[in-house]
Structure 1
Amino acid sequence: MSRPTVLDSGIELDARGIRAEGSPRVVLCASLFYFRLPREQWRARLEQVRASGYTCVDVYLPWNFHETAPGIWSFEHRRDVAAFLDLARETGLYVIARPGPYICSEWDGGALPAWLGLDPQVRVRQHEPRFLEQVTAWFDQVLPLLARRQYPAGGPVIMVQLENELDFFDCEDRTGYLTALRDQALRHGITVPLIACAGQGDIEGATGDVQGVVPACNFYPDDDSPDIEPEVRRYAQLLAERDLPLLITETNRRHRTLRRLLASGASMIAPYLQSSGWNFGFTPSTGNWGEPGNFMSHGYDFGGYVSSTGAERPEFTEAQVFARVIDTLGPRLALATSTVPGVPVTADFPTSSSPSALDLDGGGQLVGVPHLGTAPGTAVVNGVAVAVAADSCPLMLVDVPLRPYGVDATLTLASADLVAAAEGVLTFSSDVPVTVVVDGTRVEIPAPKPGSPTTAAAGGATLVALAPPDAARLRATDRDGTVHLTEAPPRRDTPPPTAVRTVRRRPATAPERPAGTHELPPTLESLGVYRGRGTYRTTADLTGVDELLLVGAADIVDLSVAGRVRPTIAGFGAVQRIDVREATGAAAVEAVVEIWGHANFDDSRLPALHLGALRGLGTLWKVREAEDVSALWSVRGQWAGLPAPTRALGGWSSTRVGLPVTYTREIRSSTASALHLSGVVEPLRVSVDSGEARTVHTEDPWVLLPAGAHQVAITLPHHPSGGGLRAELLRLEPVTDWSCAVQDDDLLTGFAAEGGPAQGVELPLALDPGEEAWLDVDVPPSDDGYLVRMEGSQIRVTGWAQGECVGRVWVGDRPAFSGGDSNIIWIPSGWSGLTLLVKGAAGPGNAELRTLWLESPDG
């Protein structure tokens, strides 16, 4: 890979690290997303990040948050990203801007607009003219905004990221695609470094090896892995060979791990989502973290140092101490090079398989000694036994000249973090006794307790040890060891939750917008609904029909047949068999389909988990006949010759376990049909009429066939037991003549804000499956806002406040959820009103909203 061009931006990158206007620095960066916070909280959250000691925020700019419908752009109010960037500059923070076009971020569609999927010729994240035309429209809006706010002249932006973890995606022409994105950035005057992050270490897969695009790395290791250091050092070395620093654009949030990354050579460390937030309204994604899919919750919180409501967690103190180490060592650390310890290091506790060290500029080493165990232990560093706290990674200094700190001596060893150094005074942070060796003189400093510093002297230096909570608040240390701390924030008592037992129910329901009649159910996006829901209605003759087959439904489907509401379907497009034996003759069929969110990741296991997959009812089929077709398959593969043996599907036997065997058979049907392969364990490859093979998984083991005769070939890894694979052919007839009506998020939000007549009702409120209730809730004023927790069963709740949909909750039988607390809706401070749409769902137990609890946020 050739060295990327570094433009004249005041930001320089090379193998020695990052320099801003010539000043070398290590950059600590926290994710902080304006689109996941109320605008009123932007400044406070930015100031909180700055108080943590971090010097930078990374900011996604979601395309579909700003282009709300084709050609309709919004950069106002909570979408005013320019104001957010200006606040970051006022707060003294750098910014890494990440405008995509794809961002992932567990956000609706990964920020790709849903309507892109309506044009089959638009191939997202590809070097393809139609997609790039759409990207150009987005970049024409957002890149000039970033260009005006670049460092150092116009603002805080020090890097711009193109794309996001492209090495996870099957992009056919990575070089062409990234070149097109780079050229657009340059055309709009972006002069700061352009970066592209590798999600799984494939540097070329992420950057296309494009000149002028700097590779960065995302690491998400097991925090307890002993092998983090050698992996990270390898990437530091690979990038150093290209005269580039190791930029870690995403990683875990735990500071024990972040210390290990620093010691292994990272010049920038950006743990993902240190400052948590919220998925407002219809913005969460459906993702690939479940089995196989899941829903992202309203809360967006993976345990970072600041909770979704702004509370500081213990890691916040860890951040402040870590930042002080980096500040204290300054350019010495920023210009350091990655290596291994120059002295022997052993430990009586679980630790790294290969510890890392940094050769500091000006001499000496910083050695990371991770303690991966749960009990205090002892390390031996260059023959000196030192105490190490459990679950820690002290950054020990070895053979460091102290002359820059006014001491004519060498710090042979310090077993604890150096958090401040002034003329003749060295201040350390530790939970355990500190060992300091200066010019061969060894001093043991007792373990400090909060509020009680301990002191010693050696080699003409005053040595002070502080407990980490004090080190986080350190202002200065006098020559005599007197410590000055900032005031600790006052403790706040959290009042107990308040139960709401009376609400006001509106007699009216939200209007629908008619969306025409259609032979087959259309996608919601084709009806102009990119976020929201739609209703599909028809009458089907079910005479002689025992079951229906629903194909491709997403996301949340409440289906009723002949007046019976079925349990909610949330199968991510997987084929569903629906027993309708109790329905005869003409039967009303109605389906209400809600978009939870579009897939943020490209997952081939289920149709709705594909990036760009559309939402809606899919296709509903009557099953007219079922036939077992497990027998009479011809075998090809291993030693099977001609004439081909005839066996049951999976019934060929040999000793060559795991090698592929292909089974072929002619399948005939006068109607459309579906081949169901039950007993699938390992993925199979299926081709029809010698066409391109597709993979069939256990999550959705179906193959749809048009009417006619087809030669079907199934290739599977051989197992002598046969694996219990069976094949069933269902002959189908489509359910047709649908009328549609839709309610997009604007319509629902407008109805919620209108208010109107309502009658007081006492909770609990029982609902029939499929029944909906619009409830207005009186919420007392609060300086902190409220977490609203729903107690009930078999209900889905959507909440609105201040004219905006705040979030959704599903209580009862439901699919897997990820993110933060999935059982709450948050009303931010100062947001007035609370309106709830409560929908009863069929399933185990009755649909009921029993109690609403108003809880004070945790900060």
Structure 2
Amino acid sequence: MEPGDGRLDPAHPADDRRLLPGPAVPVRNGHQRRKRGSQVSHSTIAGTGVDLDARGIRIEGTERVVLCASLFYFRLPREQWRARLEQVRDSGYTCVDVYLPWNFHELAPGRWSFEGRRDVAAFLDLAQETGLYVIARPGPYICSEWDGGALPAWLGLDPDLRVRQHEPRFLAQVTAWFDQVLPLLAERQYPANGPVIMVQLENELDFFDCEDRAGYLTALRDQALSHGITVPLIACSGQGDIEGATGDVPGVIPACNFYPDDDSPDIEPEVRRYAQVLADRDLPLLITETNRRHRTLRRLLASGASLIAPYLQSSGWNFGYTPSTGNWGDPANFMSHGYDFGGYVSSTGAERPEYAQAQLLARVIDTLGSRLALAGSSVPRVPVTADFPTSSSPSARDLDGGGQLIAVPHLGTAGTAGTAGTAPGTAIVNGVPVAVAPDSCPLMLADVPLRPWGHDGTLTLASADLVAAADGVLTFSSEVALTVVLGGNRVEIPAPAAGVPERVTVEGLTLVALAPGDAVRLRATQRDGTVRLADASPLPSAAPSVEVRDVRRRPAGAHEEPAGAHELPPALEALGVYRGRGTYRTTLDLTGVDELLLVGAADIVDLSVGGRVHPTIAGFGAAQRVDVREAGGRVGVEAVVEIWGHANFDDARLPALRLGALRGLGSLWTVRDVTDVSALWAVHGHWAGLPAPLRGLGGWSSTRVGIPVTYRREIRSATASALHLRGVVEPVRVSVDDGEPRTVHREDPWVLLPAGTHRVSVTLPHHPSGGGLRAELLGLEPVTDWTCAVQNDDVLTRFAAEADPADPAAPERYDIRLPLALEPGEEAWLDVDLSHLPPSDKGFAVRPAGTQIRVTGWAAGECLGRVWAGDRPAFSGGDSNILWIPPGWSGLTLLVRGTAGPGNPELRTLRLEYPDD
């Protein structure tokens, strides 16, 4: 046992000085005990107390495998920061990675905030006090399904500014952000002043079309160095393109994000390849994001990872207007108020079964210590076969000092009691049959010298996790029978029952087998195999939900701030609304007009024409045809446009999914005529000669299936027009007047054309049947003379926090009972009294139920989030049907808006639930 490493020592079973509170997890770092003011040498890779090379990660000279959980201060109430950090520590993880969202701290151009929930310095200091390392990820772009990927919304107002490029205007904005945040990180670097052991520049740049990666990353690196960042600078690749993520810039260390199918048999060879690629550069494999399932994490560990950072192990919330519209739909969706992808801690702080799996894996890593941390990635030296689905090429680590750690995943599932698949499978390891539980991945030891643990022999094979080791005793965790081969002795130990350890002594060595639930509570092991366990945590008791019937309706809504008159609808950002909503109003003569065309609107548009409220439009900027045949004459037009969130990813298929795209009404047009232009296209390509044949669009016949063919024709229109390519399946390329081609997708198959005559070319992969492609031309006139008003998130939040302005002479007029019926387009502000409810240490989940309504909630002066019932786009994240009131947050105010759709708008019930999952 290495002195001071916190392993369980059977010779000192009562010594708990080195054990953290809660579940038995040894202290694996001591940086919280260092005094501030230590000297830090200036290097990006070595000499800072954090050194990286092909053998792994060394922190102040000690080799470590680092388990890291993502934990985001901006998705939690400040009151819960310490408890969540302690929860990560008690899981056995030694590090948290944390994004620092630029637009969470710069609320408007030049308006900075680092107070309250934005006090990231306080969060980092708490991490240090808790005993955790930190990987800081300040962007400038973070993705994270966060509004705009953290890029401020107003950047899109400058047409010459190009985000995530080596471009002066963008870099000037980044400099302003880095000038705020990098000194804060530099002051809290490890080991001198804090817990920060690495700083990430950018995020998954290999997904983005950056024109000068080397120049861009060099600029970010130089800014970090100029601000005194001395810990390693890293950049993660999202799809394995190391050069695409780092630009191969010296001093920027590549990391990898892996999101495999957990049941894939091919994870190991892919990960080993990257481990070798990086080892050839004298670097370790740093996995900065990956899946949360520990069966998979074990496979990554065995394949050579020195840092394993599953993304979002500790879940949280997207408060207010901070969720994104993003890349998890087909092609898009809205991120929910809950931000939860099934990590080991739920959004409300409840520990899931994976939490215990984290503790088990941490114990294995801790027990093997530097022997594992210095181990190279390899494959088993002994034959491994199985009668169950497993890896196509298992991985092993060549332990420092001899022997191997072999991962043997059972990719079958346990099923339910009495069904097939519940029995363990059998693996043959070097000719020895061993049991492997379904849905598990034991880390088996082979040919490991035991001298470091006080025994002269060699552990030829152990088929289960080694969770503690010291002089004369080895403690394993297994849910099935355990096989140990020691010298010439093969020992079969029955599957241990909960609370009943199994013990056997072989050649003077005591072997102890514990059930996994006991292994995570292990405090100490005596030389005779007697174990001491921590008390089991009590199971939470389910609390009944409460249905709220009585609410108080306010007589008026939040005021609008006038935003001027405009010839054409401006972007909301141009009106100073970066989060919130705006209203656009005009009058329009619809005589002889059957439809309107709405182009570029985002995110949520409630359009009323002549008093008729149309179904909500949430098309992510795609052109939308609006039937107005029932209107006629001169009518009023009103559009309430709400920002759900800016795109967190760059997706060219829809206009509002482009990174940096603005929000607002876009442009509205009256459609004056519609002409079919599917015929008379000249064919160019394949064997078409001169004069070019004339065919219908897509109608050329050829054996060259899939090879692009180009169709050209002139299109004339006396007004602006829109070319609609109906029936597009695969993307097609369209150019106008021999200009730069643009790609048109089935999600938005439109091309706007100015008035005049234009040469249009459409290039598409050839399909023998023609693919059913049609083309029509819509003659357009712009709708002009708009008056705008806005309500940004600050205005709405201030109003929600105000006292009820009900008429004191008739307060009973505003006390109502649910259900509440609304008209489409009608809004109601409701105050809900929660003072009579018993307190909850996990807060309350508020579940509004109804049809055709959107509900926004506020508590304690802060916007909680939004819920949408009825016709709506796809959602992802956590439970999209609840709002969460954190414990201690007082009051509840709801804004309920009725929308048009198949049902009548109605808030039927409001249920408050006590989270316990």
Q: TM-score range by the shorter chain?
A: over 0.9
- Contact 2:736 2:761 (8 Å CA) reproduced: yes
Shift of 1:781: 4.8
Cross-structure match for 1:771:
826
Cross-structure match for 1:503:
551
Among 295, 298, 308, the residue aligned to 2:347: 308
For residues 440 and 124 of structure 1, what CA distance do their matches in structure 2 show? 65
Cross-structure match for 2:816:
761
For 2:839, the aligned partner's letter is: S
Cross-structure match for 1:622:
670
For 2:898, the aligned partner's letter is: G
For residues 662 and 832 of structure 1, what CA distance do their matches in structure 2 show? 64
Shift of 1:755: 2.0
Cross-structure match for 2:387:
348
Cross-structure match for 1:31:
70
- Contact 1:277 1:300 (8 Å CA) reproduced: yes
* Residue aligned with 1:249, SS: strand
For 1:339, the aligned partner's letter is: S
Cross-structure match for 1:599:
647
Shift of 1:655: 1.0
Cross-structure match for 2:416:
none
Among 185, 191, 194, the residue aligned to 2:230: 191
Query: Aligned runs of 1:97-176 on 2, under 5 Å?
Result: 97-176=136-215
- Contact 2:57 2:306 (8 Å CA) reproduced: yes
Shift of 1:407: 1.2
For residues 453 and 201 of structure 1, what CA distance do their matches in structure 2 show? 44
Q: Percent identity?
A: 82
- Kindly provide the CA deviation profile for residues 28-51 of structure 1, in whole angstroms up to 9, marking residues without a partner as x: 000000000000000000000000
- Contact 1:557 1:593 (8 Å CA) reproduced: yes
- Contact 1:373 1:391 (8 Å CA) reproduced: yes
Shift of 1:7: 4.3
Query: Aligned runs of 1:414-813 on 2, under 5 Å?
Result: 414-758=462-806, 759-779=814-834, 780-784=837-841, 785-813=843-871
For residues 325 and 346 of structure 1, what CA distance do their matches in structure 2 show? 23
For 1:75, the aligned partner's letter is: F
Shift of 1:678: 0.3
Cross-structure match for 1:262:
301
Cross-structure match for 2:124:
85
For 1:783, the aligned partner's letter is: S
Shift of 1:373: 1.0
- Contact 1:521 1:536 (8 Å CA) reproduced: yes
Unaligned runs of 5+ residues in structure 2 are 1-42, 414-420, 807-813
Cross-structure match for 2:400:
361
Shift of 1:486: 1.1
- Contact 2:105 2:114 (8 Å CA) reproduced: yes
- Contact 2:44 2:230 (8 Å CA) reproduced: no
Cross-structure match for 2:363:
324
- Kindly provide the CA deviation profile for residues 634-676 of structure 1, in whole angstroms up to 9, marking residues without a partner as x: 0000000110001110111011111111000000001000000
Question: What's the RMSD between the two structures over aligned residues?
Answer: 0.7
For 1:300, the aligned partner's letter is: Y
For residues 95 and 600 of structure 1, what CA distance do their matches in structure 2 show? 24
- Kindly provide the CA deviation profile for residues 569-593 of structure 1, in whole angstroms up to 9, marking residues without a partner as x: 0000000001100111101100000
Cross-structure match for 1:213:
252
- Contact 1:518 1:737 (8 Å CA) reproduced: yes
* Residue aligned with 1:573, SS: coil
For residues 676 and 37 of structure 1, what CA distance do their matches in structure 2 show? 46
Report the number of matched residues: 856
For residues 533 and 582 of structure 2, what CA distance do their matches in structure 1 show? 59
Mapped pair 1:178 → 2:180? no
Mapped pair 1:853 → 2:911? yes
| Misfit runs of 4+, over 4 Å | none
For residues 772 and 506 of structure 2, what CA distance do their matches in structure 1 show? 75
Structure 1, 315-324 or 369-378: larger mean CA deviation: 369-378
Mapped pair 1:251 → 2:290? yes
For residues 783 and 627 of structure 1, what CA distance do their matches in structure 2 show? 63
For residues 724 and 536 of structure 1, what CA distance do their matches in structure 2 show? 38
Shift of 1:423: 1.3
Q: TM-score w.r.t. structure 2 length? A: 0.93
Cross-structure match for 2:33:
none
* Residue aligned with 1:143, SS: helix
* Residue aligned with 2:371, SS: helix
For residues 85 and 884 of structure 2, what CA distance do their matches in structure 1 show? 20
Cross-structure match for 2:37:
none
- Contact 1:7 1:191 (8 Å CA) reproduced: no
- Contact 2:596 2:625 (8 Å CA) reproduced: yes
* Residue aligned with 2:880, SS: coil
* Residue aligned with 2:81, SS: helix
For residues 289 and 77 of structure 1, what CA distance do their matches in structure 2 show? 31
- Kindly provide the CA deviation profile for residues 763-795 of structure 1, in whole angstroms up to 9, marking residues without a partner as x: 000000010000000113513210000111111
- Contact 1:5 1:211 (8 Å CA) reproduced: no
Shift of 1:487: 1.3
Shift of 1:262: 0.2
For 1:651, the aligned partner's letter is: G
* Residue aligned with 1:451, SS: coil
Q: TM-score w.r.t. structure 1 length? A: 0.99
For residues 331 and 635 of structure 1, what CA distance do their matches in structure 2 show? 68
Mapped pair 1:386 → 2:400? no
For residues 45 and 363 of structure 2, what CA distance do their matches in structure 1 show? 30
Among 825, 841, 859, the residue aligned to 2:883: 825
For residues 256 and 131 of structure 2, what CA distance do their matches in structure 1 show? 25
Mapped pair 1:407 → 2:476? no
For residues 304 and 630 of structure 1, what CA distance do their matches in structure 2 show? 52
